[in-house]
Amino acid sequence: MNTPMTNTTVRTQTDVLATNKVIRNTYTLLSMTLLFSALTAGVSMMFNLPHPGILFTLGGFFGLLFLTTKFRNSTLGLGFVFALTGFMGYTLGPILNAYLALPNGGQVVMTAMGATGAIFLGLSGYALVSRKDFSFMGGFLMVGILVAFVAGLGAVFFEMPGLSLAVSSMFVLLMAGLILYQTSSIIHGGETNYIMATVTLFVSIFNLFTSLLHLLGVMNGED
């Protein structure tokens, strides 16, 4: 006869195993999508492909994100994850080419890349080791990202460099918070789908990198 304590222990062990599986699958898929995105960015840079423009970029991103979310529980979801991250890599290529064409542009790109890696590894490592619950940040992050997104569109369409700089600063903080939130959500069972966890972390890394690139470019007088 199973006692309540035995049943609790079994459930706890099952939860831990399930969580570890989600963590393992998430970071494996995240590594693969980052490499694939880097490959598509490299191809975009090599052939000097033009940037698709803000409207096409937003349409492609949200369209592929919708399909990824819709098929997140099937193998089709994996295909859409790579389509989404590959598309984002393609849009990044022209941006990197523009920076690399500027004096000290290579240094700016490498610094942004190194800072992005350090921030991601530091924050995700802290969340994994400390096992703190950052779920309280969810509402703040959702509102903050929405405000920053709308402000970013305003900065683009109305050509407001000052607002654009402020938006980049906001996104650095928001994406750092999102990395903590998503990693914590995986650990504590709030996110059990590794495809969606991968997408959230990838978007966080992508936005963190592009925002740092913009800020560092301004600091070096190249924007």
pLDDT, tens digit, 9 for 90 and up, residues 55-76: 999 999 999 999 999 999 999 9
**pTM to 2 decimal places:** 0.92
> What pLDDT score was predicted for residue 3?
54
> What pLDDT score was predicted for residue 5?
47
56 phi/psi in degrees, rounded to 5: -65, -40
> What pLDDT score was predicted for residue 169?
97
> What pLDDT score was predicted for residue 96?
97
DSSP string, 135-201: GGGHHHHHHHHHHHHHHHHHHHHTT-HHHHHHHHHHHHHHHHHHHHHHHHHHHTTS---HHHHHHHH
CB 171 within 8 A of CB 211: yes
CB 133 within 8 A of CB 181: no
> What pLDDT score was predicted for residue 64?
98
pLDDT, tens digit, 9 for 90 and up, residues 95-118: 999 999 998 999 999 999 999 999
Q: Which regions of the chain are under pLDDT 50?
A: 1, 5-11
SS3 label, residue 212:
helix
Q: At what angle do helices 75-100 and 105-130 cross, to 10 degrees?
A: 140
> What pLDDT score was predicted for residue 11?
45
| 54, 70, 97, 150, 204 from 117: Cα distances, Å | 26, 30, 20, 27, 11
> What pLDDT score was predicted for residue 14?
74
